[in-house]
Amino acid sequence: MGQSTLRLMILFLKNLLFTVLVPGTVAVYIPLQIAGNPTQTINSGWRVWQITALVPFSIGAAIYGWCLWDFAHRGRGTPAPIDAPKHLVVNGLYRYVRNPMYVGVLLVIAGWSLFFESWPILFYGIAIAFFFHLFVLLVEEPMLRKQFGDSYLSYCGEVARWLPTVKK
């Protein structure tokens, strides 16, 4: 096995571990705990809300997966701040919005809220969105400005933080 293959395998394992521990906890474990007895809802038959919930689930999971791939493939890192990408990722979904991974996680939480018809999960999602915003403003953006300098500042001038923009 070559060194580059070994590095890719380690990077894959680090991304998998981060995904299970952080977004897995925030977007899956905690909403299921808030739901109380999810098996009762699942076993009682699918209603229109459960089917509708598949849309944000699918879109959110696809966004997260795409971003994870871009972080590993293009950035050579993970979403974890302690092992952040070595290169600024401005490709893929990052061409349209600066924080698509967070948007994906929030869509998954919104899916749980719909699936369980749960106001508490919706309020949890709103609280998580507020936390994400503060984290981005107070931790991530200062780190990225320090690490990538003018290229990050230029990127910020072209791409919005939360709502997708279409580049000309």
**Predicted confidence (pLDDT) per residue in 2-17, tens digit:** 777 777 778 788 878 8
50 inside domain: yes
23 inside domain: yes
103 inside domain: yes
Q: How much is the pLDDT for 43?
A: 65
Alpha helices in the chain (DSSP H): 3-21, 23-24, 30-35, 38-43, 48-73, 100-115, 119-135, 141-148, 150-158
How many separate domains does the chain show? 1
Nearest Cα to Cα of residue 59 among 116, 100, 115: 100
114 inside domain: yes
- pLDDT tens, position by position, 122-159: 999 999 999 999 999 999 999 999 999 999 999 999 99
165 inside domain: no
Report whether 48 contacts 110 (CB < 8 A). no
SS3 (DSSP) at 164:
coil
Pair of tokens at residue 75: 């950035």
